[in-house]
Amino acid sequence: MDDADIDGLQYPVSQPCDANGDPQPDVLWDVPKLLKAYLHGIRGYVYHQETVLKDPVTLSNCILIDPDDFDTYRASSAFIVFCSRTIPQPLVSKPSRCSPAEEFDRGIHLDANLYPTLSNNRQWDSPHGKRLTLHLSSVDLEPDPIVDPETKSRHGTPEEFDWGIKLDANLYPTLSDDKQWDSYRPNLEATCRTHGLTQVLDPKYQPISLDERDLFDRHQSFLYQVFVRTLLTDQGKKIVRQYNKTYDAQCIYRDLCKFYTQSIMATSTANTKLQWLTTAQLTADRWLGSHVSFILHWLHTLRQYHKVAKHTTPEEQLIVMLSNAVRLVPYLRNVFDSSKQVALQNNNRPLTFDEYASLLEAAAQNHDEVTKGTKPKADPRKAYATDVVTTGDLEPDPGPPMFDFQIDMILGDYYAYCTSLSSARKTFFTYQTVATIR
């Protein structure tokens, strides 16, 4: 619609019937000048956004136009120049708005699922590791070195980066077991920070202005839908259903954190972690993994314990606890003895816990690198006798475990494995021998 079409806009007005009751045709009246002025202003604003600010108005962002920005433009000299022009300016210029390279970059979507997963140190040099470099090279994360301040978009580089992030509810983690809280919370907070929803997770945040309240309400609605889909534990479902009328995602996360950090269950979980920290020992039959993974898991469990515990453990006690956990490994036990000698040489300056943990981790990494691929394989199974049993339920032997313990292993799985070692399974021949003796 050009200026002539706007100036010639009319609308029909119905007329009353004549004296005989016959209907009369509608009369066309001109659209009020105030509405025509608004339409001219919209055309000028769209042209100004695209040609001057390089921020075109589209169907997806037209509802986000700020009324104050529109009024500011109508009072500016740019609108006066637009209205005083002799040749009507096109809303879309004939040349391309951007180069072919920029058009191609706009087709690249910032999707976190496209990035590879590094689950083993040996994968760093693999083709999967190279995919990360290739994907980052296809997404321009740095601004151009030379930028004209007159034509630079009012939306800076951070805003342009945020536009490429898709607000997808499927990216949020799922909490289906209370034991997953330690991994669920950081994953949820990281995803919310990427999507700009961290204010919902802050129990002290209160929006002030009307725009802030409207935006916060939209954030609440989206995150409430996420909680309905991802909180699958009994306590999570209970908390979500308490706010099914208010959709208050902020209160849901506040109550969820309170339950997992201050309730009786949280205290029991902290006691379990403390028990493991004081009794766990690094042995070949108790830990199915590398030595460095045991140390990292011990430190990770300590951090989780301090998040719930109301006191801080002294560093001297932490050093003793960690040294007791690795004392059955000779070369790691020597690290503790060597640290005492270093302290004597440094005018009896005590070794800090972080320094001791770093020394242990370095020694374990060196050991794991040297012994990589030298672990003996499990002996092949050989059957010297067979029999068929029709009575009784005998638990089958699952054989040697085919997995390794890692840093984020759940303590319940560790204790279950240790229990399976202490309770040796009996075969039918064992029961048959006992029956013969009787």
- One domain, residues 22 and 83: yes
Number of structural domains the chain divides into: 3
Compute the distance between CA of residue 173 and CA of residue 183 in angstroms, rounded to an integer.
9
What angle (nearest 5°) sits at the alpha carbon of residue 56, between those of residues 68 and 135? Answer: 120
- One domain, residues 305 and 245: no
- Domain boundary (320, 344, 370) is at 370
Question: What was the pLDDT predicted at 103?
Answer: 46
Beta bridge partners of 13: 27
Closest CA to 182 of 411, 413, 415, 417: 411
- One domain, residues 88 and 181: no
Question: What was the pLDDT predicted at 381?
Answer: 55
Structure tokens at 348: 């009896």
Compute the distance between CA of residue 135 and CA of residue 50 in angstroms, rounded to an integer.
30
What is the DSSP secondary-structure string of 129-171? HHHHHHHHHTS--S--SS--TTT--SS-HHHHHHHTB---GGG
- Domain boundary (262, 293, 313) is at 262
Asked, for residue 375, whether it belongs to a domain, the answer is: no
- One domain, residues 158 and 186: no
- One domain, residues 252 and 287: no
Range of the domain at 23: 1-106+151-164
- One domain, residues 250 and 271: no
Asked, for residue 29, whether it belongs to a domain, the answer is: yes
Burial class (CB in 10 A: 0-12, 13-18, 19+), 39: middle
Asked, for residue 145, whether it belongs to a domain, the answer is: no
Question: What was the pLDDT predicted at 108?
Answer: 45
Structure tokens at 326: 């690795």
DSSP H helix total and E strand total for the chain: 19, 2
In this structure, the number of other CB atoms found within 10 A of the CB of residue 385 comes to: 6
- One domain, residues 18 and 158: yes
DSSP-H helix ranges across 13-126 = 33-51, 67-74, 77-83, 100-106
Compute the distance between CA of residue 15 and CA of residue 183 in angstroms, rounded to an integer.
71
- One domain, residues 178 and 239: yes
* C-alpha R_g of the chain: 35
Question: What was the pLDDT predicted at 240?
Answer: 94
Asked, for residue 301, whether it belongs to a domain, the answer is: yes
Question: What was the pLDDT predicted at 154?
Answer: 46
Per the CB < 8 A criterion, the answer to whether 233 and 175 are in contact is yes
- One domain, residues 192 and 279: no
Question: What was the pLDDT predicted at 236?
Answer: 93
- One domain, residues 285 and 256: no
Buried b (16+ CB within 10 A) or exposed e, 157-168: eeeeeeeeeeee
Asked, for residue 432, whether it belongs to a domain, the answer is: no
Question: What was the pLDDT predicted at 115?
Answer: 64
Question: What was the pLDDT predicted at 382?
Answer: 59
Beta bridge partners of 24: 15
Closest CA to 322 of 299, 339, 343, 342: 299
**DSSP character for 25?**
E
Structure tokens at 118: 């590094």
- pTM for this predicted structure: 0.51
- Domain boundary (370, 387, 422) is at 370
- One domain, residues 257 and 271: no
pLDDT tens per residue, the chain (438 residues)? 777 888 888 888 888 888 888 888 888 888 888 888 888 888 888 888 888 887 888 887 888 888 888 888 888 888 887 776 544 444 433 344 455 445 444 544 556 665 666 766 666 665 445 444 444 444 444 444 444 444 444 445 666 666 667 778 888 999 999 888 888 999 999 999 988 899 999 999 998 888 888 889 989 999 999 999 999 999 999 999 999 888 899 999 999 999 998 888 888 888 888 888 888 888 877 777 888 888 898 998 898 888 888 778 888 899 889 989 898 988 988 888 787 776 666 666 778 888 888 989 899 888 888 887 665 554 555 556 565 655 555 555 544 444 455 555 555 555 565 566 555 444 444 434 434 444
